[in-house]
Structure 1
Amino acid sequence: MSAMELGGRIKIIQRITVVVFFLWDAVSAYGGLGLTIAYDNSPYMEGVTADWGFSCLVTAGRKKILFDTGKDGTILFSNASKLKIDLKAINAIVISHLHEDHTGGLFPVLGIQSNATVFLPEAMPEMQQQFQALGIKNLIVEKPMQIGKGLFLTGSMGKGIREQALIINTPPGLIIIAGCSHPGIINIISRSKELLHRPVYLVIGGFHSMPGTTEGMFKIIQQFKSLGVGKVGPAHCTDEKVKAFFKAAYGKNYITMGAGKILNFSVGKK
């Protein structure tokens, strides 16, 4: 092989980015997994305030991740208190996208837990200045990333609004948590499957920009089924008519969401 040919091969290799994930499942790794909807448009538990926005606490052993922070810090703190969520114990905060209804409680939470690492899908100069002033560690997530045993981020997606989703690897399959799904919920599910090569057990969160026609909704639901999505829990920005379509299609595998909803998964549970 000539020096020129060898140099060309080296350049090709250097262009290849290999992402290696360690596929421990979160349930077994941490002895259990819990999801608590702390903020949502709809109420689920009596006494918890519903408001436009989304936030979900992921509890995996001592690992506590707050996915989005709702629109109003006061409401988030009130709901957290009623749900017995200790926001001071948060290890990490994942922001799906930089809209107010997902970031409103971010700095109030950081005000009481400045040790949490914040994962963002894109940079904003004003926000970066605030992080720097508070000494907050933050990471801009451009590519897929593993943030814990069985816990992954899709990386930033979308050509307009940059958004990321959280993926949790569990024994029966992947749990995908989406904020608003601006890049398209089908695209988010597809990327999650491509990254981890596992079936999709459950998809929850906002299913934004759904088709406005019955024919279009049937097509979307068929795509969910074709991708092997076992259960669905549409929330936040998902239109009530869209929720009705999913409920009719998924029956007992449809999970009603809302502020105060708690889902627990234990080792060996299917």
Structure 2
Amino acid sequence: MFLGEIPRVNDFENKKPVGEHCLTDGWHDDYVLDDSALVYRQKDGIYIITGCSHAGICNIAEYSKQITGCSVIKGIIGGLHLFSGRSQQTLATADYLKQNVEGNIYPCYCTNLAAKFALHAQLPVQEVGVGLTLEW
């Protein structure tokens, strides 16, 4: 399923603009409100496929659970938009994912090494590279 625009419900995710955009009345902060993702549902749970996660991976996960009616997250692959291993957002994200993901996560671009280490301290983080094949 294509998620469409992701509701921003977590207070620790992406409250800063990622740039600016120009409208007819001038320049405005751009929070990439049109950020979206995909969710794949199977009998045993859901798998989330993200782009850059400008809406926040936890917001994406919550919306995925809401629209599928399934609370079991079996895996996540994609960018998580995390750039620090010690930020409040990264630590809160690691805690959320530890409590809500039963399988592996595969953080890609938009997730730096320090953030991957912080996540890996809490839950299984898998390497992603050219030629990776996942069977769900």
> TM-score, with normalisation over the residues of structure 2?
0.71
Q: Deviations along 1:84-120, whole A, 9 cap, x unmatched?
A: xxxxxxxxxxxxxxxxxxxxxxxxxxxxxxxxxxxxx
Query: Secondary structure, in 3 states, of the residue corresponding to 1:233?
Result: strand
The CA deviation at 1:216 is: 4.4
Relative distance call for 1:185 and 1:210 in structure 2 (3 A) is: farther
CA contact (8 A) 1:202 1:232 kept: yes
Query: Secondary structure, in 3 states, of the residue corresponding to 1:245?
Result: helix
Choose which of 232, 235, 242 in structure 1 pairs with 2:115. 242
Q: C-alpha separation between the residues in 2 aligned to 1:210 and 1:171?
A: 34
Q: Specify the alignment match of 1:172 in structure 2.
A: 44
CA contact (8 A) 1:182 1:209 kept: no
Relative distance call for 1:210 and 1:193 in structure 2 (3 A) is: farther
Q: Specify the alignment match of 1:263 in structure 2.
A: 134
Is 1:192 the counterpart of 2:89? The answer is no
Gaps of 5+ in 2: 8-29
* 1:262 aligned partner, one-letter code: T
Q: C-alpha separation between the residues in 2 aligned to 1:224 and 1:256?
A: 17
Structure number with higher helix proportion: 1
Is 1:208 the counterpart of 2:84? The answer is no
Choose which of 101, 105, 111 in structure 2 pairs with 1:232. 105
Aligned residues: 111
CA contact (8 A) 1:232 1:246 kept: no
Taking the TM superposition and a 5 Å limit, the aligned residue runs for 1:1-270 are: 152-157=1-6, 160-161=31-32, 162-198=34-70, 199-210=72-83, 213=86, 216-226=89-99, 228-230=100-102, 231-250=104-123, 253-265=124-136
Q: C-alpha separation between the residues in 1 aligned to 2:49 and 2:90?
A: 20
The CA deviation at 1:259 is: 1.9
CA contact (8 A) 1:181 1:206 kept: yes
The CA deviation at 1:153 is: 1.0
**Bigger radius of gyration, 1 or 2?**
1
The alignment yields a C-alpha RMSD, in angstroms, of 2.0
The CA deviation at 1:171 is: 2.7
Q: C-alpha separation between the residues in 2 aligned to 1:248 and 1:212?
A: 10
Kindly, what percent of the aligned residue pairs are identical? 28
Q: Deviations along 1:47-71, whole A, 9 cap, x unmatched?
A: xxxxxxxxxxxxxxxxxxxxxxxxx
